[in-house]
Amino acid sequence: MPDQLSIVDAVAAIQNSLPKCGQVRVVTIDGPAGSGKTTLAANLASKFEQASVIHLDELYEGWDKSLDQVLFERIQAWILTPLENGLSPKHLRYDWGKSAFTSWSEVAYSPVVILEGVGSGHTSLRHQVSQAIWIEADENLLLERVVKRDGEAVRAEMLIWQERERAYFDFHEVKNSANLHLRGQ
């Protein structure tokens, strides 16, 4: 398999994969902040008749508790267990402005569910994932992309976040465990 693939290759790989979470093909998109995970998720979802996207930044509990074990327990309880049982996933949505979970979000049950965000490639989730995608971009662009998107106020937190995500990627061997590797533009 080539090191870098296209979105066409990713769609084909998803279509040819087996459901591993009940009747659902769960697709994860993990990689550094600013690499293009959200854009890729939207592009992939548009290629399927029925696909849902879940953004992990809605499940993080702020900056400091974002990649702890509780996140993966939430993903299992709120997303994967319902899907495995043929139910629509429902999760609390974190409001970054209020620093609290404030509302419930129900996601349509569909044959393809894309879970995008840092943390989606976690070791504990892999047995229910049909396709794990790693996306990366030029390391010199990542921070500036996030600051451009979210504002200068996030710069200091992002520098800390980049250290946390690197430690998570290394510890869980996220890139090496991914089925597909893509490059964000």
How many Å apart are CA 82 and CA 84, to the nearest integer? 5
pTM of the predicted protein model: 0.93
Can you give the residue range of the structural domain that contains 114? Answer: 7-183
pLDDT (tens digit, 9 = 90+) per residue, 163-176?
999 999 999 999 99
Q: What is the mean pLDDT of residues 41-63?
A: 95
* Any domain includes 2: no
What long-range pairs does 97-100 form, CB within 8 A, spacing at least 24?
Answer: 99/62
Q: What is the mean pLDDT of residues 28-49?
A: 95
Structural domain total, the chain = 1
* Any domain includes 82: yes
* Any domain includes 152: yes
Per-residue pLDDT at 42 exceeds 50? yes
* Any domain includes 1: no
C-alpha triplet 159, 161, 166: angle, nearest 5°: 105
Query: What CATH number corresponds to the domain at position 55?
Result: 3.40.50.300
pLDDT (tens digit, 9 = 90+) per residue, 8-34?
999 999 999 999 999 999 999 999 999
Q: Cβ–Cβ contacts within 10 Å for residue 160, how many? A: 11
* Any domain includes 27: yes
